[in-house]
Amino acid sequence: MVFKKTMVMRDRKAALSPAHITGIVLIVAAVAAFFVQPLLSAALLLFYVVLCVWACFYPQTNFLGPVISRGRSGEKKVAITFDDGPSEFTTVKILDLLDRYSLRATFFVSGLNATQYPGLIDEIIRRGHSIGNHSMRHDPLVMLKSYRVLYREVYDAQAVLRKMGIDALAFRPPVGIINPKLPSILNRLGLFCVTFSCRAMDAGNFRVKNMAVRILKKLKGDDIILLHDKPPRRSKDYPVLFQEIENILTGIQDRGFRVVPLAQLIDREIMTLESRT
């Protein structure tokens, strides 16, 4: 299988997004309307602002820029991804579960956690899984901050991974929300954005009970499944979490779906490995 490679070309000019094109059209229309009906002009501009805000929470529309949220194989294939790790309390156990069923996943890690647990990053790679960039600090409000702050969040995590010999090509925004600044930042850093199409609404392993039911009842072909390998917030939830993840893995197969690596599902490399020091 040959995947499409992402070329790292800093400051490369990106194509105009639907948001740019819509903005140009609505601004021109608003200027023209101002001389006829000023209220209509204001309404057009307000509509554009609302449209952009809405698109931040629904990145799969690709309105603000290109986002991959599912595969396009047309087959009963799905990919499994884990966010917010690695964690010494959960990641290894999850790796063991994946090994038991001979499955490969993608782990979108934060730079801080990668720095704290470099051995777990090594273990994820050693067992045949992929690593993606999930920002440096996983600030859920980072999309509300300045361009400079957002750039540093992505860049710093990328730098951490590169020191470990990993050139991440895929970025997943914290809590799956984007903003109009993100596409140009990813373009500068040679990254592309990957979100998800199927989630357990577990609030970062806060609601682990019945995760499998919530995932399996809406599972569709080409889904990118979002799970978490961060610790549950209550110690008694650890065995529940691991059992729910195993139920998801077996339930996917029982329903006739096949788990494939994310790179295979989207036909695009998630990372490349360099010399590791």
pLDDT computed for residue 13 by the predictor: 57
Residue 26 above 80 pLDDT? yes
Q: Which CATH superfamily is domain 67-273 in?
A: Glycoside hydrolase/deacetylase (3.20.20.370)
Q: Are 67 and 193 in contact (CB under 8 A)?
A: yes
- Residue 273, helix vs strand vs coil: strand
Task: Output the six-digit token pair for 273.
Answer: 């490995």
pLDDT mean over 129-151 = 95
Q: Tens digit of pLDDT for each residue in 107-124?
A: 999 999 999 999 999 999
Residue 1 has pLDDT above 80, yes or no: no
pLDDT band at residue 14 using 50, 70 and 90 as cut-offs: low
Q: Which residues are catalytic?
A: 83, 228
Q: How confident is the model at residue 80 (pLDDT cuts 50, 70, 90)?
A: very high
**Which stretches of the chain are assigned E, i.e. beta strand?**
67-68, 77-85, 106-109, 130-133, 166-168, 170-171, 192-194, 198-199, 224-228, 258-259, 271-273
Percent of the chain with pLDDT over 70: 94
Whose structure tokens read 């695009």?
268
Question: What average pLDDT does the segment 168-190 reach?
Answer: 96
Q: Is the pLDDT of residue 9 over 80?
A: no
CB 73 within 8 A of CB 222: yes
- Over residues 132-144, the mean pLDDT reads 95
User: Does residue 16 carry a pLDDT above 90?
Assistant: no
Picking from 207, 212, 165, 175, the residue whose alpha carbon sits closest to that of residue 83 is: 175
| Domain range list for the chain | 18-61, 67-273
Count the neighbouring beta carbons within 10 Å of the beta carbon of residue 96: 11
- Going by pLDDT thresholds of 50, 70 and 90, the confidence category of residue 11 is very low
Burial letters for 16-49: b for 16+ Cβ neighbours within 10 Å, e otherwise?
A: ebebbebbeebeeebeebeeeeeeebeebbeebe
Please tell me the distance from the alpha carbon of residue 198 to that of residue 72, in angstroms, as a whole number: 15
> Predicted confidence band at 34 (pLDDT cuts at 50, 70, 90)?
confident
Distances (CA, A) of 124 to 22, 85, 221, 228: 42, 11, 26, 14
For 121-148, what is the mean pLDDT? 96
Average pLDDT over residues 193-205: 95
Instruction: Note the pLDDT of residue 108.
Output: 98
Is this model's pTM higher than 0.95 or not? no
